[in-house]
Amino acid sequence: MKKRVWSQGESRVGMTGALLATLLAGCSDVASDAPRGRGEPVRRGVQAGGSGGSCAGLCGGSAGSCWCDTSCSTYGDCCSNYASVCGGGGGGGGGGGGGVTPPAGWTLISPGSTVGGSVISGGQVRYVFPKVSGRTYRVVMIPGTEAPGTGDIDLYTSGDSSLSLSSYQCRPYAGGTAPEVCSFAATSGGWNYLILHGFAAGAYTLSVFEQGAGPAPHATTFDPAVNPPSGANWYNAQGFRENNHLGADLNRNGGSSADLGSVIYAVADGTVTYAANAGTGWNGVVIVRHNAAPGAAYSLPGGGSAAAVWSLYGHVHATYVSIWLQPGDVIRRGQPVGVVGPTPSGSTGPHLHLEMRTADVGPGDGYDASAAGWVDPLAFISAN
């Protein structure tokens, strides 16, 4: 029996639901790239007709003010012919209205999304996602919704609908609560199938990341990195520029270790540029580049603007950081970047150190007398 386990994630599931509805309805032209609210349908300003899609052939590309991301889940002026342009597998033909319909018995999950749930012992949860030839996909399953999880769920994947526990293309078969990852380069379009099997009952967090063809995504909306979209129940223990600090130290209410294992979320759509254990003092660090839409720019706290910014997530659990993400992964707003790790050297307890930069400068030191190239991350997120 599948159940929802996202304590913070009704909106997360809802966002997937909205995306699903859009896919099933066919991805129609939209007239504006106005930021959308969480849980709000992706489509807005739908234009009748669409003349074959103003983004035809441009899924994951751009021309003038017209652009859409590699999965057509975020776009400024998207394609009406999602299935044929974005390789929607078995879709594309369907009578009257077309759209993308997953095979019977399989639940559609989009590349660039994260879902959570649970599996009973001996049970199965089955997902499918459309793949595009030439792109690389990484399917990452971490037991539980906050580390460490419980139980033992096994991941099976295949590009063949005959996927079963005895016929598969990838089965990491890691024991217990170890994360499981299947990655592959698609040599054709169509569907990719996933089974999560409950070797022992447990909960899971499943993400599909995409790499490869197509330009980096554009980000129009930023959310808090913890407990989005409100950020409630967390506080800033050391603000930007306090003691030459280059970021904000975010702690969860409830005591010094209350945030250990808490999920950290990408503040906006972007491309991972760094995901590794950065050593003593840092533990895991993730950096994501965010591009403004063509012709647009982000307003910076204190004045000025930038066409691109980099968000940094520090003190991420090092055990998971390079499993969960790799440089080149396209990550979406609200997808997990990892979990808060144990107390970093020199700190008084677990927390998220969040930075926002205007340059690509690697992990750095977290503190500097000069903040040139850095902005107040919380003010930036509020303003964008």
Place of tokens 């990408």: 266
**By C-beta, is 138 or 353 nearer to Zn ion?**
353
Number of H-type helices and E-type strands within the chain: 4, 22
Nearer to Zn ion, 218 or 351 (CB): 351
Query: By CB under 5 A, which span of 36-44, 108-116, 249-257, 305-313 interacts with Zn ion?
Result: 249-257
In the complex, what is the shortest distance from the CB of residue 14 to Zn ion, in angstroms, rounded to a whole number? 32
* Residue 353 is a binding residue for Zn ion (CB under 5 A): yes
**Minimal distance, residue 140 CB to Zn ion, in Å:** 27
Q: Identify which range of 57-65, 172-180, 241-249, 369-377 contacts Zn ion by CB under 5 A.
A: 241-249
Q: What is the DSSP letter of 170?
A: B
Q: Which residue, 107 or 236, has its beta carbon nearer to Zn ion?
A: 236
Task: Find the DSSP H helices in 224-349.
Answer: 318-324
Instruction: Give the nearer residue to Zn ion in terms of CB position, either 332 or 353.
Output: 353
Task: Provide Rg for the chain, Cα atoms.
Answer: 20
Spatial contact of 321 and 284, defined as CB atoms under 8 Å apart = yes
Residue keyed to tokens 């910076």? 300
Q: Shortest gap between Cβ of 238 and Zn ion (angstroms)? A: 6
Minimal distance, residue 102 CB to Zn ion, in Å: 43
Q: Looking at beta carbons only, is 210 or 376 nearer to Zn ion?
A: 376
- Based on the shown chain and the rule CB under 5 A, indicate whether residue 332 belongs to the binding site for Zn ion: no
8-state DSSP, 168:
-
The amino acid occupying position 180 is: E
- Would you count residue 355 as binding Zn ion (CB under 5 A)? no
Q: How far is the CB of 249 from Zn ion (least distance, A)?
A: 4
CB of 144 closer than 8 Å to CB of 205: yes
Which two tokens mark 66? Answer: 């017209």
Nearer to Zn ion, 33 or 249 (CB): 249
Interface with Zn ion, residue 197, by CB under 5 A: no
Q: Rounded CA gap, 293 and 76, in Å?
A: 8
SS (H, E, C) 158-199: ECCCCCECCECCECCCCCCCCCEEEEEECCCCEEEEEEEEEE
Residues 287, 332 contacting (CB under 8 angstroms):
no
What one-character DSSP code corresponds to residue 304?
-
Segment near Zn ion (CB under 5 A), from 92-100, 213-221, 300-308, 345-353? 345-353
CB closer to Zn ion, 290 vs 315: 315
Q: Find how far residue 307's CA is from the centre of its chain.
A: 21
Find the binding residues for Zn ion in span 210-239 (CB under 5 A).
Answer: none
Closest-by-Cβ residue to Zn ion is 353
Residue whose CB is less far from Zn ion, 131 or 353: 353
What spatial distance separates the first Cα and last Cα of the chain, rounded to whole Å? 39
Number of chain residues interacting with Zn ion (CB under 5 A): 2
Instruction: Indicate the residue among 12 and 353 with the shorter CB distance to Zn ion.
Output: 353
Smaller CB distance to Zn ion: residue 124 or 257?
A: 257
- The span from the CA of 314 to the CA of 293, in Å, is 26
Q: Which stretch binds Zn ion (CB under 5 A): 202-210, 247-255, 262-270, 334-342?
A: 247-255
Which one of the spans 89-97, 282-290, 335-343, 351-359 is the region binding Zn ion (CB under 5 A)?
351-359
Hey, which bits of 304-360 come out as E strands? 305-306, 308-316, 330-331, 336-339, 352-357
Question: Whole-number minimum distance, CB 269 to Zn ion, in Å?
Answer: 24
How far does CA 258 lie from the centroid of its chain?
24
DSSP states of 68-120: B-TTSSSBSS--S-HHHHTT-TTTT--TTT----PPTT-EE--TTEEEEEEE-
Q: What minimum distance in Å lies between the beta carbon of 293 and Zn ion?
A: 30
Residue 249 is a binding residue for Zn ion (CB under 5 A): yes
Is the omega angle on the peptide bond into residue 103 within 30 degrees of 0, that is, cis? no
Residue 304: CB minimum distance to Zn ion, A: 23
Which amino acid appears at position 58 of this protein? L
- Positions touching Zn ion (CB under 5 A) are 249, 353
